[in-house]
Amino acid sequence: MASQSRKAAITSGNDEGILARVSQSTVVYHGKKAASNTAYVTKRIAKSTGKAAWILGTTFLILAVPFFIAYDRDQQITELELQNASLLGTPAPAGK
């Protein structure tokens, strides 16, 4: 008898379905809010990280790459001078 009244309560049109009652619970509300906040923070962090990577990358290209090119060129010139000095039999330059 009790099971029949439960079935009648579940299937009756006047009573809300269990899905409707669960979706209105405070636990579900707080869960959705936490998920939304997490997505927002993750999006902001990703955006900030992208900006920082762009700034660091362009700064490296503008400042560091020309320095390395000049350093490599100087090393090549020094090696060339040492090679020429050894071929000609003159002593190597003292300053380098």
pLDDT in tens, 25-83: 888 888 999 999 999 999 999 999 999 999 999 999 999 999 999 999 999 999 999 99
- Looking at residue 93, its pLDDT comes to 60
Residue 50 lies in a domain: yes
Residue 96 lies in a domain: no
How many residues does the structure list for the chain?
Answer: 96
Q: Which domain holds residue 34?
A: 27-85
Instruction: Give the DSSP letter of residue 96.
Output: -
Residue 17 lies in a domain: no
The answer to whether the beta carbons of residues 21 and 29 sit under 8 Å apart is no
**Does the pTM of the predicted model rise above 0.75?**
no
Our count of domains for the chain comes to 1
Residue 21 lies in a domain: no
Integer CA distances (angstroms), 12 to 1, 16, 21, 24, 88, in order: 16, 9, 15, 20, 108
